[in-house]
Homo-oligomer: A and B are copies of this chain.
Amino acid sequence: MTKALGYAAAHSFTRLKPMEIERDDPKANEVAIEVLFTGVCHSDVHQCENDWGNTVYPCMPGHEVVGRVTALGDAVTRHKVGDLVGVGCMIDSCGTCASCVAGIEQYCEGPNGWLATYNGPMKPKAQAADGTNMYGRDNTFGGYSNAIVVREDFVLKVPAALPIEAAAPILCAGVTTYSPLKHWGVKAGHHVGVVGFGGLGDMGVKLALAMGARVTVFTTTKEKVADAEKLGAKGVVEGDKAAYAALANSFDFILSTVPEKHEVDSFVPLLKRDATFCAVGALVPMAGYNNMVMVMHRNQLAGSLIGSIAETQEVLDFCAEHGIAPDVQVIPIQEINEAFKKVKTGDVRYRYVIDIDSLRHEMTEAA
């Protein structure tokens, strides 16, 4: 057991404040990691504010974690001390259900689902179908802290070619967009739409372009149209009827990264026959859909949840190979509450990443 420091929310209405926690020593198959950088995901805000009604307090977020291995359990074979590694949204899963066996742990059908890096188990003990808590933990604490201990199979290798701080958001924003782009077969020559141009949208655009697709970005922020064009995409302001009319029946796939409830009816007619509109950000009831429009070209609405551990490694390697990375703004952890506000208003360009070194200073001062 070692002491660690992190920033956590005590209640849905409070600011994140320093909190001391204890991290277990690594078990045989676990790795201890000194955290270097942690991305700030919009879902961190949702979770701290209990927008999904399932938050267990205190809530210490952080599931885009990059760090260095400091200690190993006896049985660890995949990592060694000093390795630059990453931890994403998951730190464990049942390992035996059909989805886990298929290597897509994000759809784990075990009694508690996969174990979230923070606020896990996702399904509190009382809610699991059979009352079990297979992970033996009531709450997990994420990467808004200086140290974390994770089962080796859920620890990713961060390629040396990636800027360390920019690698962090690939672990959630990257894989959450990569997984559906891959699942729905995006390839060279396709026309891909990306709705919402924040941290996930930024990665969705870069990944789809790197896959060879032509990309059109839909954004509510006029000023971001130029940013989209700088990346090599086309930018459209959401709701621009003339632009939408010109795009009718033209998309092979549309990926919505909008983290809030939004309408889908205006996007369905933009899809080609048999094409899919997939929303990964809005984990809430949607505004509804008109099935008359859906049937006209046999279209589909879909949801997709983060990505598997294998896909997370794939997207890290893909980004290194293609020389792409998230656009990030590095902040000290002391600015986290201000950063949360800007994530909510969409004023971040495009992802905040916490320099955990700033937290280490607090420990030194306290010592």
Which A112-150 residues sit within 8 Å CB-CB of chain B?
A: none
Q: Are A285 and B276 in contact (CB under 8 A)?
A: no
How many chain A residues touch the partner (CB < 8 A)?
37
A285-B291, A289-B285 known; A302 vs B299 contact (CB < 8 Å): yes
Q: Which of B99, B279, B294, B298 contacts A291 (CB 8 A)?
A: B279
Q: Are A284 and B276 in contact (CB under 8 A)?
A: no
Q: Are B305 and A298 in contact (CB under 8 A)?
A: yes
Which A293-330 residues sit within 8 Å CB-CB of chain B?
A: 293-305
Find chain B residues with CB under 8 A from A287 CB: 288
Q: How many copies does the complex hold?
A: 2
Judge whether A251 is part of the interface by a CB distance below 8 angstroms. Answer: no
Find chain B residues with CB under 8 A from A304 CB: 295, 298
- For the complex, what is the distance from the CA of A104 to the CA of B279, rounded to whole Å? 28
7 closest A-B pairs by CB:
A294-B303, A295-B303, A288-B288, A295-B305, A283-B292, A300-B302, A301-B301
- Name A's B-contacting residues (CB within 8 A): 52, 98-99, 104, 107, 109, 183, 249, 265, 273, 276, 279-280, 282-305
**Cross-chain pairs A/B with CB under 8 angstroms, 22 sampled:** A104-B273, A107-B273, A107-B296, A107-B298, A279-B291, A279-B294, A279-B295, A280-B295, A283-B291, A284-B291, A285-B290, A285-B292, A286-B289, A286-B290, A287-B288, A288-B289, A289-B289, A291-B303, A293-B303, A294-B303, A295-B303, A301-B302
